[in-house]
Amino acid sequence: MESGKNKPEPLLFEDNIFHLDLHPSNDIVVTGMINGRIKCYQYGLEGHRHLWTSKTFKKSCRGVSFSLDGKNVFGISRDRSIQILDTETGQAIRTRQNTHESPVNSLLIINENMSATGDDQGVIKIWDSRKDEAVMTYTEHEDYISQMTYSYSNKTLIAVGGDGYLSTWDIRKPNVVAMSDQMEDELLSIALMKNDKKAVVGTQEGVLTLWSWGDWGDYNDRIIGHPNSIDAICKLDEDTICTGSSDGLIRLVGILPNQFHGILGDHGENMPIENLKLSHDKKYLVSSGHDDKLQFWDVAHLFQEDPGEEDKEDDDTTDDTKVKPTAPLLEKTDVKDDGNDDDDDSWGTDSDEETTKQKKRKKTQKKESMKPKKKNTKTAAFFADM
């Protein structure tokens, strides 16, 4: 079948999707909804099957995540509670009430026992399933935590937020390991690349910033080209990511060398993309945004090997399949680079040696029409959060 056509139909919803996650080993998706429900579906080329709906929270469900083994579903809410559901039945297994003083905005499953949550006021808490109270509470951030990720090789939690700071934490210790300079822009999304040697961060102003592990004071490179905020990043392999932007486009981007490879999907103009996930079998990229539906994009061709390549000897071969960015993408006009770094419609990078004076733009210079903060203002201004 032609590349890009072998994909499930969109999954339609009556309410807004706040967040989604894909099962680690089965064709199952869960969504956290604005009305506080968590919905679970089995997806496929022959159609989708509704498995269960749980009226989990009193207010909007802002985050959902499968446990690492896929047996449970974690959910967080604006009502400040955390719930753990059984994946098969949707029944609540455990509920934590009043977990934060402010609405919970970000969720990360670290391992089979540990998880992390971040709230609208920048507080991060570490939870151990074997204990009733949070085992660590971090208060260095001053605004909402947009996303967190974890480096298993370095045993470090990394968080980014609306206050323009990136922070790193040893979850066994109470104090921050490192805190970046104030970036004068909201940091919305993050992914670890190059075997955790690099971090890629998406910003409100549409710049991808690249950070070197251990050098957390400031980023040392950037990729220009997104005309709007980068609300979601999905890692495909150690060298390639997909980005979801508020202009409704999903872009395929190479990291070091920094290169824009093309468009993978399009939700339509004025339909911001806020969630991107890669399926367990690497067949589909699943996205959601303001159009109240899950879109499935065929990406299996990106991971296909050239004929005969599998017979080649390669001492550096790993279990991760290498993305082939030259595979067919959606037809889209190329984004031109006119060499002007101040033009957000152009693609370019800042090398480590170039001046940093123009790296950042003041928040005070943002246009009034710019998209509000990713989560907490989205719920208040755009959706009249429940």
* pTM exceeds cut of 0.75: yes
pLDDT over 90 at 47, yes or no = yes
* pLDDT number for residue 270: 81
pLDDT over 60 at 327, yes or no = no
* pLDDT number for residue 380: 29
Rounded to an integer, the average pLDDT of 125-140 is 96
Domain ranges of the chain: 226-302
- Long-range contact set of residues 3-6: C-beta below 8 Å, sequence gap at least 24: 3/298, 3/301, 3/327, 3/328, 4/297, 4/298, 4/301, 4/328, 4/329, 4/330, 5/298, 6/45, 6/298, 6/300
Would you call 307 exposed, middle or buried from its count of C-beta atoms within 10 A (0-12, 13-18, 19+)?
A: exposed
Sorted by sequence, the CB contacts under 8 Å of residue 200 that are 6+ apart come out as: 190, 191, 192, 193, 208, 209, 210, 211, 233, 241, 255
CB atoms within 10 A of CB 3: 15
pLDDT over 60 at 260, yes or no = yes
Would you call 138 exposed, middle or buried from its count of C-beta atoms within 10 A (0-12, 13-18, 19+)?
A: buried
> Is residue 56 very low, low, confident or very high in pLDDT (cuts 50, 70, 90)?
confident
Amino acid at site 361: R
Q: Is the dihedral of CA 327, 3, 48, 26 positive or negative?
A: negative
Considering the chain, what is the average pLDDT of its residues?
84
Between 109 and 330, the more confident residue is: 109
What percent of the chain lies above the pLDDT cut of 70? 78
Sheet containing 273-278, strands listed edge to edge, beginning at the edge strand earlier in sequence? 11-12, 293-298, 284-289, 273-278
Give the residue from 209, 225, 246 showing the smallest Cα distance to 338. Answer: 225
Contact 22, 278 (CB under 8 A): yes
pLDDT over 50 at 132, yes or no = yes
pLDDT tens-digit readout, 182-226 = 999 999 999 999 999 999 999 999 999 999 999 999 999 999 999
Contact 202, 208 (CB under 8 A): yes
What the block records as the tokens of 163 is 């206050």
pLDDT over 90 at 107, yes or no = yes
The total number of residues written for the chain in this structure: 386
* pLDDT number for residue 320: 52
Would you call 91 exposed, middle or buried from its count of C-beta atoms within 10 A (0-12, 13-18, 19+)?
A: exposed
Sorted by sequence, the CB contacts under 8 Å of residue 188 that are 6+ apart come out as: 146, 147, 160, 202, 203, 204, 229, 230, 231, 374
What the block records as the tokens of 14 is 């009556």
> Is residue 304 very low, low, confident or very high in pLDDT (cuts 50, 70, 90)?
confident
Phi-psi region of 16 (alpha: psi -120 to 50; beta: other; left: phi over 0): beta
pLDDT over 70 at 164, yes or no = yes
Sorted by sequence, the CB contacts under 8 Å of residue 41 that are 6+ apart come out as: 11, 28, 29, 30, 31, 48, 49, 50, 51
pLDDT tens-digit readout, 343-354 = 333 345 443 333
| 151 three-class SS | strand
pLDDT over 50 at 359, yes or no = no
Distance CA 190, CA 319 (A): 23
Distance CA 184, CA 29 (A): 36
Distance CA 162, CA 188 (A): 7
Query: What's phi and psi for 47, nearest 5 deg?
Result: 130, 175
* pLDDT number for residue 368: 33
Give the residue from 28, 36, 31, 37 showing the smallest Cα distance to 12. Answer: 31
> Is residue 67 very low, low, confident or very high in pLDDT (cuts 50, 70, 90)?
very high
